[in-house]
Structure 1
Amino acid sequence: MTRWCFLLGGGDLEMTTIRALVAATLGEEAIRDRGLTWGARLSDYAEDLGVLPPETVPVLVELALDIEPPPGAVVIDHHNEDSGSDRPTSLEQVFALLGLPPSAWTRAFALVAANDRGHVPALRALGASAEEIEAIRRADRQAQGITPAEERDGETATARRRPALDGAVTLVDLPHARTATVTDRLATLDPPPEAVLIRSPTEVNFFGPGPAVRALDAALPGGWHGGDLPRAGFWGRGEPLPETEALLAILADPLAKKG
């Protein structure tokens, strides 16, 4: 039997679910968890990699490969080139790696996977109730470590949103990078905006139609993207932060075509 060691990436509901699944299947000794946030890197586990027992296979869960992975390591991810509606989520990949039977795949797992793949629209497509959606999104924000103060900032930023490109995109200025405090609130609107651009002090994030995500990634490489592509997804990047007008110029054509 293969001896796995799971090195966990940035915290969110999917990551906490993966942690619980691995612990229940293999025990806590099969987990290395440094409590990282989004943007976690393999180098964050350099010390752990140096002391793994012989013949242990590292499983790198949503870690940016900023250093060379150990020979034979298994990479688990659902971002950038590994993202899309036709790719299994990280939770689904871990479930398969553990060799668990289909009967062990619960509705709770299905909700977590849908949430990770496509946020609220994917949960609705799965038939989730309003109560299930609210519970999943609340649990995800808690798993990310979002504070009450950040929630209040998100509420204020959402209330101050403004339209651009003749209403094709919603602009939001947020004083931190906890974008779920905005996107979760916008998802409750009737109808919710189809394209959202959120500026924070350290990064900029877009959520919307797949063609717009692809256009941003092509014009401004070096960031991150994922979601339920090619239908819809997200894109973001940190420094150097592009100007809002430059981003809107990139978005104008794909959003106009969608309309």
Structure 2
Amino acid sequence: MNDKARLIFLLGGADLEMHTIRQLLDKNGYRYYDKHLRWENACLSAYRKEITDYTGDDTPLWVGIELQEDMNLPSNYISIDHHNRNAHKPSSLEQVAELLEIPLSRQEQLIAANDRAYIPGMKALQASDAEIAGIRQADRAFQGVTEEEEKLAELAIREHTQVCDNLIVVRALCHRFSPICDRLFPYERLLVFTDEEWMYYGKQTDRLVEIFQSDIQHGSIFYGGGPDGYIGCKRKAYTSSEIQQHVELIKHLTNHGNI
């Protein structure tokens, strides 16, 4: 049996990219497990039973896609991701396509660009406004954003937005930030937060990556999207007072021209 036939994919947190990867695997007859995880619980241990109880005749090549490696890695494990230490890599969809030696369609290329570099990534591929709007709407839907959360995003923007020089700061009313980001784009610098988490998007993200390097090493903060991408903390990784301290630090750094 060749290596490709031994591949078994383990899918991570739900969004448009992960849905598209699943479609690609279905269309080409590859094996996978999908626990319909969310970003916050997308861990390799979610598939512990599938890995330890595997009874196939072959020796599988496990392929974990955007999974936190919170257990001993199985033998013959392949990790696919484009966050944190893998932020320099192509999108997970592109990595899967390369592994399977499958070309991506125009729509799949745009979906990959969206996940890797958001709207600017799609614009770099000459995406139309309609293509961008369609992909962003689909991405929010596959993330699980509800109509109520879309309305809460509008309310947060209307009533809980502060502009600090070149930084837009929004106190969100739910834990889904993408509806806020999409409505405010284009922006240079955007900080969205609740009492449980914060996310920064925009210019000089790489500067914050340097500042929060210790927290990144401890797994409390993650980043991606390149030098001007995004960085944020995992939900409930910090107390509400610590979140506020981070928010004030980012505001201070922006006001003094350090990011």
Fold shared, TM-score > 0.5 on shorter chain: yes
Change (3 A) 1:90 1:255: farther
Is 1:36 aligned with 2:37? yes
- Return the offset for 1:247: 3.1
SS at match of 2:212: helix
Distance 2:73 2:207 in 1: 32
- Return the offset for 1:141: 0.6
**1:234 is matched with which residue?**
231
Percent identical residues: 32
Where does structure 1 lack aligned partners over 5 or more consecutive residues?
none
Residue deviations 1:180-236, cap 9 Å, x none? 11101111xxxx321111112432111122234314532643334333312333333
SS at match of 1:149: helix
Change (3 A) 1:255 1:91: farther
Distance 2:172 2:22 in 1: 30
Distance 2:15 2:243 in 1: 29
Letter in 2 for 1:11: A
Distance 1:73 1:48 in 2: 14
Is 1:205 aligned with 2:199? yes
Q: How many residues align?
A: 247
Report if the CA contact (8 A) 2:209-2:223 is conserved.
Answer: no
**2:212 is matched with which residue?**
217
Distance 2:249 2:81 in 1: 31
**2:178 is matched with which residue?**
180
Of stretches 200-209 and 16-25 in structure 1, the one that deviates more from structure 2 is 200-209
Change (3 A) 1:126 1:213: farther
**1:73 is matched with which residue?**
77
Letter in 1 for 2:43: R
**1:110 is matched with which residue?**
109
Distance 2:258 2:246 in 1: 19
SS at match of 1:118: helix
Distance 2:243 2:195 in 1: 12
SS at match of 1:198: strand
TM-score, normalised via structure 2 length? 0.87
**2:155 is matched with which residue?**
156
Change (3 A) 1:96 1:255: farther
Where does structure 2 lack aligned partners over 5 or more consecutive residues?
none
SS at match of 1:207: strand
Distance 1:179 1:202 in 2: 12
Residue deviations 1:53-91, cap 9 Å, x none? 24111110110000011011110111111013xx11101
Distance 2:17 2:81 in 1: 11
Describe how 1:108-147 pairs up with structure 2 within 5 A. Answer: 108-147=107-146
Show structure 1 runs of 4+ deviating over 6 A. Answer: none
- Return the offset for 1:50: 1.7
Report if the CA contact (8 A) 1:10-1:36 is conserved.
Answer: yes
Is 1:13 aligned with 2:16? yes
Distance 1:250 1:143 in 2: 30
- Return the offset for 1:161: 4.2
Letter in 2 for 1:156: L
Letter in 2 for 1:108: Q
Residue deviations 1:106-151, cap 9 Å, x none? 1111101110011112111221111000000001011111111111
Change (3 A) 1:6 1:237: same
- Return the offset for 1:256: 4.6
Report if the CA contact (8 A) 1:216-1:250 is conserved.
Answer: no
